[in-house]
Amino acid sequence: MEQLSPPERRGYRRITVGVILVLLALGLFPSTAAVLDEANEDLILPLFVAVMVVAGMLLWSLVPGLSDGSRSRGHLVAVGAVAGLVSAGVAIAVFYALLNGYSGA
């Protein structure tokens, strides 16, 4: 089997972490809504986004080999926060489309 170069492996790892974040967001959004539906409806979206940002920061900074070593830990945490925020946005858009259809509310 052909060996991959380090940049190719980093690219595949980044895609894998991104897919894991999106799948986590798709599972966490309805779970958060189910838990907070009766008690605190206003906290569903902010809590979900905060948890996804923290999950993105943790995954992106703790998975080895996502960077070539020239980036600082703070940079990796910031990229992870953005990746978590984007995955939360994807999950919100998916569930909005599923609940309201493509024509809108």
- What is the tens place of the pLDDT at every residue in 46-78? 999 999 999 999 998 888 777 777 778 888 899
Residue 105: inside a domain: no
Residue 73: inside a domain: yes
Q: What are phi and psi of 38, to 5 degrees?
A: -80, -40
Residue 71: inside a domain: yes
CA dihedral 82, 83, 87, 92 (to 10 degrees): 0
CA nearest neighbour of 55 among 33, 22, 92: 22
Q: What are phi and psi of 101, to 5 degrees?
A: 80, 180
Q: How far is CA 89 from the centre of its chain?
A: 9
Domain count, the chain: 1
CA dihedral 46, 50, 56, 58 (to 10 degrees): -160
Q: Could you tell me the pTM of the whole model?
A: 0.84
Residue 60: inside a domain: yes
Domain span at 40: 6-100
Question: Which range, of 6-10, 12-16, 31-35, 55-59, averages the lowest pLDDT?
Answer: 6-10
Residue 23: inside a domain: yes
> How high is the pLDDT of residue 29?
93
